[in-house]
């Protein structure tokens, strides 16, 4: 089945390289889900006040270090509260963090500001307050509508709470709403997946993210699989569920724009597009990753270590930002060859593909000249194709054939 294609996006402006997206990590959860390897912790909510204070300080320092050469604040196009469970914070705490972001960066007046929410933690009567802070997009981890599968995953919410949360969010004025689901769960049937998709579509979300279950090390799920008490779904079962989702979502008017993401017109996630376009982003909070000024770096993962580092006298400057020290534990310089490979691989996840003119302006060399014979072979083999023209923007994207062996195609660009 041919996936529906999102409308061709506008060509990317090189000026976007001077902007950032801001990711804010909230590492608290009521309970760890059995499959989750994110940097999130149960039982640490007592750290919340100190953690918010540390975040506010880090945002202010990051804003200073990321100033433009003329001293102006750097433009910030999107903000994303991820986790963990950001919906465990009070609206007043979200407001304080956003104020810090606005003081540190030149945040667009119409910036997309997303908050990830667990339907089991939303205080419905506070959703209006949350909307009033400036958060204008909610992303809910729904995961399934099947009560047994929700229990098996260790989720803290019921199927009914997903419905209540969506209705409450709409009533509070959220007009941009995403629902996340996981498929290819052990013993999940096509009928269960169909039912989940139908119930999700009945709620008319603006965006849907569908991920197949991955067995990550250091999770209870990994131990169960190792012990042989759980059998992961087969690749065939996962492919059947993926194809079913593609068909049903296309029928319901959602355009697929990335391997795992679908949206109604005008509701693609701009924050995640920053990652897929390999544009700069700054992550703040425990374990958060950044890609900025030719470096990739990550902050210390433990909550206590992060709070302690920000309580000290660490102060990044334009030249030390992203180097190891302070809350940063890991930092690497990204050379042009690596940046070109990453840009190609990330953009090929998008249905629209890679913007070739932007690539040439960004790196000062054409994509064809960079990848030469490897690219010619992939085009001749029918794995990638050129679309668009000089006026609409020329692009390179995976063909249907290329999608089936996406990882092998990506490897050719390494």
Which spans of this chain sit near ligand SF4 (rule: CB under 6 A)?
Answer: 29, 32-33, 36, 38, 40, 83-85, 118, 141
Residue 114 vs 256, nearer CB to ligand SF4: 114
Smallest gap from Cβ 29 to ligand SF4, in A, equals: 3
Strands (E), 200-347: 207-212, 255-258, 261-263, 281-284, 289-292, 295-299, 328-333
Residue 38 vs 314, nearer CB to ligand SF4: 38
Smallest gap from Cβ 40 to ligand SF4, in A, equals: 4
Rounded Cα–Cα distance for residues 66 and 383 (Å): 39
Residue 38 vs 224, nearer CB to ligand SF4: 38
Per DSSP, the residues of 92-149 read HHHHHHHHHHHHHSEEEEEEEEEEEE-TTT--GGGHHHHHHTT--EEEEEEE-S-HHH
Rounded Cα–Cα distance for residues 323 and 57 (Å): 18
Helix axes 190-202, 235-251, angle to 10 degrees: 30
Residue 9 vs 120, nearer CB to ligand SF4: 120
* Inter-residue contact 94 to 130 (CB < 8 Å): yes
Three-state DSSP class for residue 337 = helix
Smallest gap from Cβ 27 to ligand SF4, in A, equals: 8
Smallest gap from Cβ 97 to ligand SF4, in A, equals: 18
Rounded Cα–Cα distance for residues 321 and 291 (Å): 11
Residue 52 vs 348, nearer CB to ligand SF4: 52
Smallest gap from Cβ 35 to ligand SF4, in A, equals: 7
Three-state DSSP class for residue 328 = strand
Smallest gap from Cβ 299 to ligand SF4, in A, equals: 17
Residue 83 vs 326, nearer CB to ligand SF4: 83
**Residue labelled with tokens 């995961």:** 143
């Amino acid at each position: 089945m041919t996936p529906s294609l999102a409308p061709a996006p506008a060509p990317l402006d090189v000026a976007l390289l001077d902007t950032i997206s801001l990711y804010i990590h909230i590492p608290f959860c009521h309970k760890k889900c059995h499959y989750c390897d994110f940097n999130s912790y149960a039982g640490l909510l007592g750290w919340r006040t100190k953690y918010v204070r540390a975040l506010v300080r880090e945002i202010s320092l990051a804003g200073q270090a990321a100033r433009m050469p003329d001293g102006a604040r750097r433009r910030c196009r999107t903000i994303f509260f991820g986790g963990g469970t950001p919906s465990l914070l009070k609206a007043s705490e979200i407001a304080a963090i956003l104020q810090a972001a606005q003081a540190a960066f030149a945040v667009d007046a119409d910036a997309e500001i997303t908050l990830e929410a667990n339907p089991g933690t939303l205080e419905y009567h506070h959703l209006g307050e949350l909307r009033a802070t400036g958060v204008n997009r909610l992303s809910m981890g729904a995961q399934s509508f099947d009560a047994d599968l929700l229990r098996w995953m260790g989720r803290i919410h019921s199927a009914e709470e997903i419905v209540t949360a969506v209705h409450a969010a709409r009533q509070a004025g959220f007009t941009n709403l995403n629902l996340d689901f996981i498929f290819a769960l052990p013993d999940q049937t096509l009928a269960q997946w169909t039912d989940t998709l139908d119930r999700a579509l009945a709620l008319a979300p603006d965006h849907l993210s569908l991920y197949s279950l991955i067995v990550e090390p250091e999770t209870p799920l990994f131990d169960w699989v190792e012990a042989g008490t759980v059998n992961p779904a087969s690749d065939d079962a996962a492919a059947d569920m993926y194809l079913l989702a593609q068909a049903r979502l296309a029928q319901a008017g959602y355009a697929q724009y990335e391997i795992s993401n679908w949206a109604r017109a005008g509701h693609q996630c701009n924050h995640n597009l920053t990652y897929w376009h390999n544009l700069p982003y700054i992550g703040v909070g425990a374990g958060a990753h950044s890609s900025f000024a030719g470096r990739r770096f990550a902050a210390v993962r433990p909550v206590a270590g992060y709070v302690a580092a920000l309580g000290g006298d660490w102060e990044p400057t334009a030249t030390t930002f992203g180097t190891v020290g302070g809350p940063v534990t890991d930092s690497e310089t990204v050379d042009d060859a690596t940046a070109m490979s990453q840009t190609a691989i990330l953009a090929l996840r998008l249905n629209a593909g890679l913007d070739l003119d932007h690539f040439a302006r960004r790196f000062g060399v054409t994509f064809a000249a960079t990848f030469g014979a490897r690219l010619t072979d992939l085009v001749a083999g029918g794995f990638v194709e050129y679309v668009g023209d000089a006026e609409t923007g020329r692009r390179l994207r995976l063909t249907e054939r290329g999608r089936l062996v996406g990882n092998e195609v990506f490897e050719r660009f390494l």
